Amino acid sequence: MDSILVKGGKALNGQIAIAGAKNAALTLMPATLLSEEPLTLTNMPRLSDIRTMTLLLQSLGAEVSSLADNKVVAMSCHGLSSTHADYDIVRKMRASNLVLGPLLAREGHATVSLPGGCAIGARPMDIHITALEAMGAQIELKDGYLHATTQGGLKGGLVKLRFASVGATENVLMAATLAKGTTVIENAAREPEIVDLADCLRAMGAQIEGDGTSRIEIQGVDRLHGATHPVVTDRIELGTYMLAPVIAGGEVECLGGKLSLVESFVEKLHEAGVTVEETDKGLKVRCDGGRPNAVDVTTEPFPGFPTDLQAQMMAMLCFANGTSVLEEKIFENRFMHAPELTRMGANIEVHGGHATVHGVEKMKGAQVMATDLRASVSLILAGLAAEGETQVNRVYHLDRGYEHVEDKLGAVGATIERIKE
């Protein structure tokens, strides 16, 4: 199993190109199931999760081809050979459940395994089930599979989400495009990935209003046509690499970055004494005062501070002046990186959904274990400033969400390599 070896102590200077958003791409790919005509996605990230979604769509009968060094994915689903999403594929990735809405909308029935993914806490499917039932679906859980059917197809309705679930909003949004009548989603997720999906669906002929707000209205249409759509910039990869020069020192310009994608995150960086400048090409980041200042962080649904940047932020705060408190309000089991950071000399206390981080002057490299996707990159970030060598093991998590980390950080001055095993 591969690992990443980092030698700390090198300041970072240069540019890092930010990829298309993993969470957007994995949502956009199932949209091909809604039309018999081709859907082409550009600015695609090159990740193992994209390969997993490709396998899932192909198992359903879609044709999927990767072009231009895998940065373009061309799909066509003129005929479905199956509406059964098998456990062996779905278990690898949470986003696999996003085929449920499109299959129901197009075929009126689907059998989808309960999904897998990182073990960071409960992400219940009951929100998806209740939402689709409000549109006339009948869904039964049996032997680890969701067996979903409709009588005469999905029908528009009022969908009230008890939580602003991104996945449930995406599933309903896709399903509603082909439903009969008007569907209204209340307490909808507002993430940029939702807006990106709506933009793609509109390019395919869908009638959608209100995306980016808590109330989305979809007027169902008889059919959707083909389209070409660019994937939005990955705000989580953007935030991750913005933290790298803060931790290691130096100045890095993140190409393709936009303040609108990371406003709440940038507010915390400013509070910590970090300089973020918008340029013609992206966002430039540096920490003029040496060590950043301690700040308190609470994760919230967009536009609040992203839970997917909490682990990386903790890595930065390990080196900050003062004491910080992080409150995790999205997932109940998302501080598994804290003990690994402690192995490197961090001073962290975890009590339930709160972590208190006392900044230290230095940390030392160590053997550490990646417990999930975002935790893995947080350990790499910490290793950039730690004395000696840090070896991050079990990085298959990392490859699900970050393309060529060692190349991107190495290009701006980090001493980092992948060890093949």
- Nearest CA-CA partner of 393 in 421, 367, 416: 367
Instruction: Give dist(CA 40, CA 227) in Å, integer.
Output: 6
Question: Which member of 77, 118, 254, 318 is catalytic?
Answer: 118
**258 among annotated binding-site residues:** no
Burial, 387: exposed, middle or buried (Cβ in 10 Å; 0-12, 13-18, 19+)? middle
Q: Is 118 a catalytic residue?
A: yes
**94 among annotated binding-site residues:** yes
Burial, 255: exposed, middle or buried (Cβ in 10 Å; 0-12, 13-18, 19+)? middle
Burial, 176: exposed, middle or buried (Cβ in 10 Å; 0-12, 13-18, 19+)? buried
Both tokens of 342, joined, read 């402690």
Which residue type sits at 15?
A: Q
Instruction: Give dist(CA 95, CA 64) in Å, integer.
Output: 17
Instruction: Give dist(CA 318, CA 314) in Å, integer.
Output: 6
Assess contact for 269 and 240: CB atoms under 8 A: no
Assess contact for 393 and 367: CB atoms under 8 A: yes
**308 among annotated binding-site residues:** yes
Task: Report strand pairing: 323-327 vs 297-298.
Answer: parallel
Q: Which positions make up the binding site for UDP-N-acetyl-alpha-D-glucosamine?
A: 94, 308, 330
Q: Which positions make up the binding site for phosphoenolpyruvate?
A: 22-23
Question: Which positions are catalytic?
Answer: 118
Q: Which positions make up the binding site?
A: 22-23, 94, 308, 330
